[in-house]
Amino acid sequence: MTDLFGGNEPRQSAHQTIAPGAMLLRGFALDDQRALLDGIDRIATAAPFRRMQTPGGHVMSVAMTNCGGAGWVTDRRGYRYSPTDPETGRPWPAMPDAFLTLARAATALAGYADFRPDACLINRYAPGARMSLHQDRDERDMTRPIVSVSLGLPATFQFGGLKRGDPVAKYALLHGDCVVWGGPSRLCWHGVLTLKDGDHPATGRLRLNLTFRGAM
Ligand code: MD3
Ligand code: FE
């Protein structure tokens, strides 16, 4: 029998608008997975994943690091972007070219010209980790979108409305999926349900999520 795809599944390329301004690009990062995972390893060598404290004193279940000119941090003093890693005092590692190229391709497809992310937050979920409902509002200019890239174990993502109590829709975010969140969806409440255990060929027992942001 002819092996049409050389042993690989064909790359999915369905683009779906899940809410005004929110476009889900299934499998959009699959071709770049090796470069993304290598980049994450390099970044985490210089700026290790750490579980940060919230202003309320809780330790987050998600471990985080950053690359780019600014990185998202939290401690007892609050949430903010910092040009340096508070653990080392050094600048965050540079954003790899493959990261920037992917974020720009995704935003271009979604209709945002010339997206220039200066921050990439990298979230690492082990089984049991979760992210409760929140809005992303620490960035300076809400007219710029956020791009998310999911790698490894699948997660259930909750996507609500502009008010905390608005009903939430649930979406599975799978290895290689990208989402562009902009326009009317930029300030929507969202979260990630507790990660279930599993073993993914690319990441083992982990989920990784990159979010590209125009922060400063
Ligand atoms: C919708 N991360 O880092 S990515 C975050 O999977 C964050 O780690 C989740 O929420 C994760 O802040 C979700 C999807 C996402 C990211 C940013 C958004 C959805 C968004 C901003 C506005 C609206
Ligand atoms: Fe968020």
Q: Return the pLDDT at 6.
A: 60
Q: Return the pLDDT at 7.
A: 56
Domains in the chain, number: 1
CA of residue 136 to ligand 2 center, whole Å: 5
Residue 142 counted as domain residue = yes
Residue 20 counted as domain residue = yes
Residue 1 counted as domain residue = no
In which element (H, E) is residue 146 found? strand 146-152
Cβ-contact 156, 174 below 8 angstroms: no
Q: 192 CB under 6 A from ligand 1?
A: yes
Per residue in 100-117, pLDDT tens?
A: 999 999 999 999 999 999
- Give the residue among 194, 210, 113, 104 at the shortest CA–CA distance from 155: 194
The rounded distance, in Å, linking the Cα atoms of 51 and 7 is 38
In which element (H, E) is residue 48 found? none
Give the ligand at the shortest distance from the Cα of 158: 1
CA of residue 190 to ligand 1 center, whole Å: 7
Say yes or no to pLDDT of 77 above 70: yes
Residue 22 belongs to what domain range? Answer: 15-213
Say yes or no to pLDDT of 5 above 70: no
Q: 153 CB under 6 A from ligand 1?
A: no
Give the ligand at the shortest distance from the Cα of 187: 1
Nearest CA, atom 4, ligand 1: 148
Strand order in the sheet with 207-213: 15-19, 22-25, 178-181, 146-152, 207-213, 119-125, 63-68
| 192 pLDDT tier (thresholds 50, 70, 90) | very high
Cβ-contact 153, 128 below 8 angstroms: no
Residue 3 counted as domain residue = no
C-alpha 4: how far from its chain's center? 32
Pocket test for ligand 1, best of 72, 139, 148, 208 (most atoms within 8 A of CB): 148
Domain at 65, CATH number: 2.60.120.590
Residue 6 counted as domain residue = no
Per residue in 126-174, pLDDT tens?
A: 999 999 999 999 999 999 999 999 999 999 999 999 999 999 999 999 9
Q: Which value, in Å, is the radius of gyration of the alpha carbons in the chain?
A: 17
The rounded distance, in Å, linking the Cα atoms of 51 and 129 is 11
| 68 pLDDT tier (thresholds 50, 70, 90) | very high
Residue 100 counted as domain residue = yes
DSSP E strands, 20-85: 22-25, 63-68, 71-75, 78-82
Q: Return the pLDDT at 2.
A: 53
Angle between helices 97-109 and 33-46 (to 10 degrees): 130
Scan for tokens 């699959």, then name that residue.
Answer: 30
Give the ligand at the shortest distance from the Cα of 188: 1
Q: 146 CB under 6 A from ligand 1?
A: yes
Residue 10 counted as domain residue = no
Residue 97 counted as domain residue = yes
CA of residue 41 to ligand 1 center, whole Å: 21
